[in-house]
Amino acid sequence: MTDPRTPSAPSQPAAPAQATGVSAGAEGNWFGYRPVDPDAKSGLVRAVFDSVAGRYDLMNDLMSGGIHRLWKDTLMEMVAPRADMTLLDVAGGTGDIAFRFLERGGGRAVVCDITESMVRVGRDRSYDRNLLTGVNWTVGDAERLPIASRSVDAYTIAFGLRNVTRIDAALSEARRVLKPGGKFFCLEFSHVVLPVLREIYDVYSFQVLPRLGRMVAGDEDSYRYLAESIRRFPEQQAMVKRIEAAGFGAVRVRNLTGGIAAIHSGWRI
């Protein structure tokens, strides 16, 4: 398997002006701060998540201080599950979003993830929760979903869009699988809007987080990539424009915890 390791990060956090976003469509050329062949990126991403699959929730706890659980609850409030709804959760690996959907009265959930080891973890967790029906698991790429067109009522992707090779292709696929009027939601680590918090979060992301990854999970390189991938992700308003360009209406962004994360939402036109 391709080695996911990246060059060592600088001792000081990268300046936001240098680290924020890439031009539309160019994200496939980067694996964190490392330039790569777009055809190689998905394999590198799979290697990262193969490495962290067994401790994925711990990873999110380290990256968010545990607040990701509240963010996911907020996301589910926006989804507003109903018994007649089918949810597709992309990059949904360990099942956090699907489980919340079903436990709040949702009808059926389909979890799709590019990494088979993440899907195995999620399926095992569903057995632990005695969720034996109502959720289906499949391995697939966000850019080429193994899902029928116009077949789902809601599409969610949490902490996954920044890892795809071609964001616009993934957005196009989201529109394809949604029924007309279906709801799109993306929860993602984003760009901090409070200057003081930005400085603190940069220090945490680039100096503290990789060391925690090494000490707690024995994997510094994957955690460094994840911090870098956040800085490469488009800023909030740029993401709004790309979602609109993909064929969604009423696109909105809701910043969480000062922009450490954000939820983008829209309706399939």
For residues 164 and 136, is the Cβ–Cβ distance under 8 A?
no
Measured CA to CA, the distance from residue 227 to residue 65 in angstroms comes to: 14
Measured CA to CA, the distance from residue 131 to residue 122 in angstroms comes to: 11
For residues 261 and 188, is the Cβ–Cβ distance under 8 A?
yes
Q: What is the torsional sign of CA 256, 261, 267, 269?
A: positive
Measured CA to CA, the distance from residue 52 to residue 50 in angstroms comes to: 6
Residue 141 labeled ligand binder: yes
Measured CA to CA, the distance from residue 112 to residue 28 in angstroms comes to: 20
Specify binding-site residues for S-adenosyl-L-methionine. 94, 113, 141-142
Specify binding-site residues. 94, 113, 141-142
